[in-house]
Amino acid sequence: MMKMKTFLLTFLCLVATAVEAQQNLSFSQNGQPVSPEVNVDHSVTFRLMAPEAQKIQVTGDFLPEGQRVADMLKDDKGVWTMTTEPLKPELYMYNLLVDGVKVNDPQNVYAIRDVNNLFSIFLVSGGQADLYCVNNVAHGNISKVWYDSPTANMKRRCTVYTPAGYETSGRKYPVFYLLHGMGGDENAWSELGRAAQILDNLIAQGKAEPMIVVMPNGNMVQEAAPGDASDGLVVPTMKLPKTMEGSFETAFPDVVKFVEKTYRVKKDKAHRAIAGLSMGGFHSLFVSINHPDDFGYIGLFSAATDRLQQETSDYLNVYEDRNGKIDRLFSKHPKLFWIGIGKTDFLYKNNASLRSYLDSKHYPYEYVETEGGHTWRNWRVYLSMFVQKLFK
Amino acid sequence: MMKMKTFLLTFLCLVATAVEAQQNLSFSQNGQPVSPEVNVDHSVTFRLMAPEAQKIQVTGDFLPEGQRVADMLKDDKGVWTMTTEPLKPELYMYNLLVDGVKVNDPQNVYAIRDVNNLFSIFLVSGGQADLYCVNNVAHGNISKVWYDSPTANMKRRCTVYTPAGYETSGRKYPVFYLLHGMGGDENAWSELGRAAQILDNLIAQGKAEPMIVVMPNGNMVQEAAPGDASDGLVVPTMKLPKTMEGSFETAFPDVVKFVEKTYRVKKDKAHRAIAGLSMGGFHSLFVSINHPDDFGYIGLFSAATDRLQQETSDYLNVYEDRNGKIDRLFSKHPKLFWIGIGKTDFLYKNNASLRSYLDSKHYPYEYVETEGGHTWRNWRVYLSMFVQKLFK
């Protein structure tokens, strides 16, 4: 018995050592202040223990418009603190500036990459933002799936959401192709876009039909998201070639072919939707008008709506005769042509011009205009609205 | 034509603005030094632009044993630099200390959470570490899958690797259950463990059989990894209840049942393997000896091999009569009983004691002893060795 007690004590000490060892670097969260903390009134407190630092600030999309940073204040124990005003429900992104160096909040392990920056995130729940939470509902699955693209002569990866019950229902499902913007990749919609949570919640509430959501990679020079491809842990960049020169649209049927071969899906126009943000909206427009018999539902979220650059490309026919192709699309009566844009979006006029053309022809479409600009916060809202209109 | 030129110019300016807008926070990688940079001789250079900082250090598992931090040096432009000695091929983890605050390298978007810390990572390729790279080979898919655990009365999530070709081959595959350690979750093996890369590469080289790898969550109070469950963006912790008190082992058949219902798999002992690291090795031992007809291959990676704490629990029978259950297991001739441990692992003696028992009974097992201790770097090696021995 004595022996057992000694052994037990030794074991517990060893476990404590193991915690250190497993982490490789000795850093204990004990005694570290919690950050961020969402308070009862929906204000948020950031804290950082940094007795040696001279200046700490916080920067993030929760700050009032026009304010770039907020100073944190140091107490006599070296803990810096800043509390925001009460915030609206939203998924927010932020960084700390430690003596001028922009870093993640070291107390917050939840970080998401957007293009070439890593942001700390937090969620103020309630209202629309409840759709972004993992709630106690049936969950769909997210898969990272490699497929063959003979047109691009590459193996490429896409992210696939299958709704709760897919594995066992035996049913066939409609498919929604959801495209990212410039600088994004096949992870964008499932991470900052909260696509799985939005779909899970709206399906559970009976507001969206169970559907498969396919999120391909829109950058034809990439096999997969940065870090997940054979070029290694590269520095991600906005400025990739082969994004808006027609090769994505030309290779797009490879994705559809793969999906319809691999998943239990309905394979007609009434059960195919396509939408995307920014560049992905541009891709959605040109994929759908070049294949007017294929997509019953089309969504443009803060989209570029015109070919605006005159690069040389092997695929320029994709963009030729846009209005003629739009005419053909509408002659076949798509169930939904949906446009969403923010009032301060740099593509507002570009969208207004497209709407003028649609109006001049009396083509039916739905239009949503929101506050704000070219931001994830708008794209999550557009996704939430759009999916409620599909396949009904 | 003039109009087009003006429009083009406007569009390009607007795109530049959009880049800022999409990121929400204005931070440009232009002019920022690259960090980390793996040099030709496999030394690694860290750089950080921080003219206002007083002291910057780097800490990481590439430092020589016993060295906790290395100082970075500031040049007259405010760029801090540190170059390591040439490093062995490995996946390394590190942080920067900016005026005493431990942060991620802000120039490196590749970060992985281990328990409650977020580490920047880099990879020095070559040798063993080539198995950790995404190489130009056929890739399997990674899925985050929810399943029903009636025993736990919960929906729970596991990570599933399906090998390249699974979707189209029509074949049935063997299944390898791969378990994480204390403080880990169902993401641990696919992230720091590089399980998908290791399997892809060894299968492509013909050294491992195509197999499905199922990575469940070993913490019975969790539905899924922190941040992916309905308790929200919680602070992760090592100290969870219901980890080594028998409830995981008791509910384990729910995972097997789900997998065998959902995937095209072979359903016999000859085509089922189980292994895990630390707590996951403990789970593997007790799952397999309590079900001696179910697993042909058993792997203990830096495992706890004994019930050492006398908690009250509803499931203590799981741990009763360990040696009698081991006898029963070996009477049924498992194809492989594999033990791997590092020389400085705090569980070394614990494993030596198990080996003594196995030796005393002349039970056949394979034993690998490596340098080092209770670290991911050993666990990746053990995984690479173990999977080459399965299902042959």
- Indicate the residue of B22, B98, B346 with minimum beta-carbon distance to A115: B22
Residues from chain B that touch A103, judged by Cβ atoms under 8 A, are 98, 101, 103-104, 106
d(CA A342, CA A371): 5
- The sign of the torsion formed by the CA atoms of B95, B98, B101, B103 equals negative
Which amino acid, one-letter code, is at B113? R
Tell me the H-state helices in B157-221.
166-169, 195-204
- Interchain proximity A142–B144, CB inside 8 Å: yes
> Residues B270-305: pLDDT tens digits?
999 999 999 999 999 999 999 999 999 999 999 999
For B194, half-sphere exposure in the C-beta direction (CA atoms, 13 angstrom radius) is 29
Q: What is the ipTM of this complex?
A: 0.91
In this structure, what token pair is assigned to residue A227? 């870090």
Query: Interhelix angle for B195-204 vs B376-387, to 10°?
Result: 30
Element (H, E) at A149: strand A141-149
Evaluate whether B287 touches B252 at the Cβ level (below 8 Å): yes
Query: Interhelix angle for A322-331 vs A279-290, to 10°?
Result: 60
Other C-beta atoms closer than 10 Å to the C-beta of A99 total: 22
Domain boundaries, chain A: 27-124, 132-387
Evaluate whether B360 touches B332 at the Cβ level (below 8 Å): no
d(CA A95, CA A68): 11
Q: What is the pLDDT of residue A239?
A: 82
In sequence order, the 6+-apart residues with CB closer than 8 A to the CB of A65 are none
Residue from B109, B260, B262, B375 to probe the interface with A (highest A Cβ count within 10 Å): B109
Put simply, the chain A residues between 48 and 107 with a CB less than 8 A from any chain B CB are: 48-55, 59-61, 68, 93-95, 98-104, 106-107
> What mean pLDDT is predicted for residues B330-341?
98
pLDDT exceeds cutoff 70 at B28: no
Helix (H, G, I), strand (E, B) or coil at B301: strand
CA distances from A193 to A203, A284, B343 (A): 17, 17, 46
Q: Tell me the CATH number for domain A132-387.
A: 3.40.50.1820
Residue B293, chain A, CB below 8 Å: the answer is no
- Interchain proximity B109–A226, CB inside 8 Å: yes
In this structure, what DSSP letter does residue A269 have? Answer: G
d(CA A228, CA A233): 8
- The sign of the torsion formed by the CA atoms of B325, B328, B334, B336 equals positive
Q: What is the pLDDT of residue B238?
A: 83
In this structure, what token pair is assigned to residue B312? 């009250």
d(CA A389, CA A347): 24
Tell me the H-state helices in chain A.
2-23, 166-169, 195-204, 247-262, 279-290, 322-331, 348-360, 376-387
Residue of A nearest to B17 (CA): A346
- The sign of the torsion formed by the CA atoms of A354, A356, A359, A361 equals negative
- The sign of the torsion formed by the CA atoms of B100, B104, B107, B108 equals positive
Q: What is the pLDDT of residue A307?
A: 83
Residues from chain B that touch A14, judged by Cβ atoms under 8 A, are 346-347
In this structure, what DSSP letter does residue B265 have? Answer: B
Residue of A nearest to B148 (CA): A138
d(CA A191, CA A161): 12
d(CA A248, CA A251): 5
Which of B271-310 are b and which e, b meaning 16 or more Cβ less than 10 Å from the residue's Cβ?
A: bbbbbbbbbbbbbbbbbbbbbbebbbbbbbbbbbbbbbee
Domain B135-307+315-387 has CATH 3.40.50.1820: yes
Which amino acid, one-letter code, is at A337? F
Q: What is the pLDDT of residue B311?
A: 66
CA distances from B118 to B2, B17, B109 (A): 52, 31, 11
**Ranges of chain A whose pLDDT falls below 50:** 1-29
Beta bridge partners of B337: B298
Q: What is the pLDDT of residue A310?
A: 64
Residues from chain A that touch B104, judged by Cβ atoms under 8 A, are 103-104, 106, 111, 118
d(CA A234, CA A239): 13
Q: What is the pLDDT of residue B362?
A: 98
Tell me the H-state helices in chain B.
2-23, 166-169, 195-204, 247-262, 279-290, 322-331, 348-360, 376-387
pLDDT exceeds cutoff 60 at B120: yes
Q: Tell me the CATH number for domain B31-124.
A: 2.60.40.10
> Residues B39-76: pLDDT tens digits?
999 999 999 999 999 999 999 999 998 999 999 999 99
Classify residue A344 by burial, with Cβ atoms within 10 Å: 0-12, 13-18, 19+: middle
Evaluate whether B273 touches B177 at the Cβ level (below 8 Å): yes
In sequence order, the 6+-apart residues with CB closer than 8 A to the CB of A92 are A44, A60, A61, A62, A121, A122, A123, A124
pLDDT exceeds cutoff 50 at B1: no
Residue from B12, B58, B118, B135 to probe the interface with A (highest A Cβ count within 10 Å): B118
d(CA B318, CA B307): 10
- Interchain proximity A93–B375, CB inside 8 Å: no
Residue A29, chain B, CB below 8 Å: the answer is yes
Indicate the CATH number of A27-124 among 3.40.50.300, 2.60.40.10, 2.60.120.20, 3.40.470.10. 2.60.40.10
Q: What is the pLDDT of residue A261?
A: 95
Beta bridge partners of A176: A213, A273
d(CA B167, CA B357): 44
Evaluate whether A136 touches B230 at the Cβ level (below 8 Å): yes
Q: At residue A271, what are phi and psi to the nearest 5 degrees? A: -125, 25
In this structure, what DSSP letter does residue A260 have? Answer: H
d(CA A40, CA B218): 32
Give the number of beta-carbon pairs within 8 Å between A and B: 270
Average pLDDT score, chain B: 91
Put simply, the chain A residues between 198 and 237 with a CB less than 8 A from any chain B CB are: 224, 226-230, 232-233, 235-237
Closest CA of chain A from B207, distance in Å: 20
Residue from B62, B79, B103 to probe the interface with A (highest A Cβ count within 10 Å): B103
In this structure, what DSSP letter does residue A291 have? Answer: S
